[in-house]
Structure 1
């Protein structure tokens, strides 16, 4: 049976610089303009909102933020969609995984509207056998219930699953659920510094295509175990 390779989307396959730009620059500016606030005050208000909802399902919801801050967040993303970019090696990696017979899943916290926008701009949808938004599942990936519900919807063996994500909190929950092969990303956003490996808790990919040799090594070890 082919192994399943699960990918996060933003910060893993796609450059997180788009999301940073939308949430940290565009939204504060638009919020300040609409509500006639100084930009500094707008940033402070939004920062408090972000912190109070971080790692929850609503944190990823365009609908929730539109209602909460009075700015159409999805429309804002659509306005700047030309800035959506794949991370280096993304297409190459997905292409080679499919050629080698791996089953690829896209497992994202992005809500369905944002997911659709990203997939309409970056042609990667055809590489995936399963595409899941946490909005469909009803829990964010940081919640163990997400993984339990995902397994109910799409059965998979955690022992033979590979999962790549740029968020340590998500990886910790996946580890708690029992997924064995976990990988972090050293530079989710091209506009931010590379995170040092010693500061990260999980095995880390500097380049996405490094995963290919790692998977070959995992397969070799698994075959050695079966032969023994």
Structure 2
């Protein structure tokens, strides 16, 4: 991580979403409970068998494949006739912000443009962050907008071009060490790895969003 004085170049703070701004509870409920429940009902099998079949199908694709994030793909794959909105609304009560999220967004938005760059599909991003829109210049699904996962430096270069910014003017913060730290760094952005489990330390590691805000602001 560059020294703090380099952060004076930063104009835009980019955030991952799940595991960063909001907990993963909601997406886990949709994907690991909602979809298997509908599958069990549709195909007349038990819940445990449905969970295993659905999970095995997910894993056969993997997180570097766009299909992993595409709800339409999985509803079609499992022959589930339900509107997206109905499935997403089933677990609305499970959308959960981290305790410091709103405080940090309000603080950083005083000095920086804030954006979200998530692998999650647009319908998830817009649904989970609906109450936080006023803090952000833009909320983006990179898989939906650019047709790329955050597995490629080009994804972050697409993000910079989309925002009209140079890579050195953007810092990305997220909880996936590879997608949210190593890849954006390779693309020329500044980056912070959000390790909420406190397994790592170092100049590129923060353990909550308050610490990330302090680092970005050079405190």
After TM superposition, the score normalised by the length of structure 2 is: 0.83
RMSD of the TM alignment (CA)? Answer: 2.3
> 1: distance between equivalents of 2:48 and 2:60?
19
Contact kept? 1:110, 1:133, Cα under 8 Å: yes
Q: Which of the numbers 170, 195, 202 marks the counterpart of 1:161? A: 170
Q: Which of the numbers 89, 95, 119 marks the counterpart of 2:100? A: 89
Contact kept? 1:63, 1:73, Cα under 8 Å: no
Contact kept? 1:119, 1:125, Cα under 8 Å: yes
> 2: distance between equivalents of 1:42 and 1:132?
32
1:3-24 deviations in Å (ceiling 9; x for gaps)? 2110011111011111112222
Contact kept? 1:109, 1:133, Cα under 8 Å: yes
> 2: distance between equivalents of 1:158 and 1:26?
38
> 1: distance between equivalents of 2:155 and 2:116?
14
Q: How does 1:5-154 map to 2 (within 5 A)?
A: 5-55=13-63, 56-71=65-80, 72=82, 74=84, 75-99=86-110, 101-120=111-130, 123-134=131-142, 135-154=144-163
Q: Does 1:214 align with 2:215?
A: yes
How many residue pairs match? The answer is 206
Moved more, 162-171 or 8-17: 162-171
| 3-state secondary structure, aligned to 1:209 | helix
Contact kept? 1:93, 1:208, Cα under 8 Å: yes
Moved more, 35-44 or 8-17: 35-44
1:72-117 deviations in Å (ceiling 9; x for gaps)? 3732221211221211111000001112x11111111221222222
> 2: distance between equivalents of 1:90 and 1:210?
12
Q: Partner residue of 1:190?
A: none
Structure 1 unaligned regions, length at least 5 = 187-194, 221-228
Q: Partner residue of 2:185?
A: 175
| 3-state secondary structure, aligned to 1:65 | helix
> 2: distance between equivalents of 1:202 and 1:109?
25
> 2: distance between equivalents of 1:51 and 1:73?
24
Contact kept? 1:183, 1:204, Cα under 8 Å: yes
Structure 2 unaligned regions, length at least 5 = 1-8
1:166-202 deviations in Å (ceiling 9; x for gaps)? 222312222221222322241xxxxxxxx3423x898
After TM superposition, the score normalised by the length of structure 1 is: 0.80
| 3-state secondary structure, aligned to 2:93 | helix
Contact kept? 1:62, 1:73, Cα under 8 Å: no
